[in-house]
Amino acid sequence: MNAFTQSVASYFPRGQHLAGLIVVLLGSLFCLWLNTSLDTWTNGRIVGLSSLTLAILIGMVLGNTIYPKVAERLNDGVCFAKGEILRLAIMFYGFKLTFTQVASVGMPAVMSDALVLTSTFLLTYWLGTRWLKIDKKTTLLIGSGASICGAAAVIAAEPVVKAEAHKVTIAVATVVVFGTIAMLLYPFLYSLGWLQPWLSAQDYGVYTGSTIHEVAQVVVAGNAISPEVGDTAVVTKMIRVMMLAPFLLILSFALTPSGDTKGGKKLSFMARAKQVKIPWFAFIFILIVLLHTWLNISVSLERTMVMLDDLLLTMAMFALGLTTHLSAIKQAGVKPLLLGAIMFGWLIIGGGLINVGIGFI
């Protein structure tokens, strides 16, 4: 059996996975139902709350109460959900966007996304590791979530960073908290007239899509102004999402040791490149985007794949919650939240300046 066959085979659950997977599946279906029901019960007043947020919260409650008693029997399936199912979810994310959408907003949105992503990630890493002295893995995950697409980027970066469950949860918490604040703050600032001197309605859509953390939060913030602005915001956000694949490849290269552990010599660029563990799941995501763009997929099939992807992402987050221990989060302290708050301010001000600057080009 060659490496490719082994890789494909790893995505098929085995007998020891079934019990844990059934529990994760049932928990995820409950979270999806609860998310829809809360929206109905509150007449849409609870905005920006996603099944992913509910999954990690409910998973954490169970993970610190009931789950430890049955962890030995369920752990294989839960870990399968955190690993292989997560990668499948990132691949299927490609059914949510097309390159035609990218063309509709033009180069300014692409430039804005690229500059915001790069500056946000590098600034997060520098502040987190040098100033706040947060451990490297937590900092990388917070930077991934803030600069690309929130919780989805955090859990996509986890296989590359190889971080513990509580560090992933901490990073997800920062993007959920500050992304939710941004979702409410941006339309408020626009309605006060503070952004109009600098940004047109279309520019506001690009600004929103290039600086707010989660896709769901971008939808709310953009559509609060108008459906047209909402469309621009979402497409700009999806361009950021497509940058996930090259970002993970660069991150994998950066985390590859630069020296030969035996001889202590510096490795050449090509020698390091050969050692890079390529995140193939991220590039399959890009391939699916291409297929989604070129092939005439029926509306029903597209809707089915999007629903399947939502379920898989929710399962991964529920499994993550089950394996997260509150004691480990307490040990991390307030520094990760402080870093998230600083980057929230940077996305508003720095991201705004980037978008205004691009508007003058």
pLDDT in tens, 178-224: 887 888 899 888 888 888 888 888 889 999 999 998 777 787 788 78
The pLDDT of residue 7 is 64
The pLDDT of residue 274 is 63
Opening angle at CA 202, ends 248 and 151, nearest 5: 30
Among 118, 14, 28, 96, which Cα is nearest to 317's? Answer: 28
The pLDDT of residue 29 is 96
Cβ 173 vs Cβ 324: under 8 Å: no
Helix (H) or strand (E) holding 312: helix 299-322
pLDDT tens digits, residue range 246-259? 898 888 888 877 65
- Phi and psi angles of residue 325, each rounded to the nearest 5 degrees, phi first: -105, 130
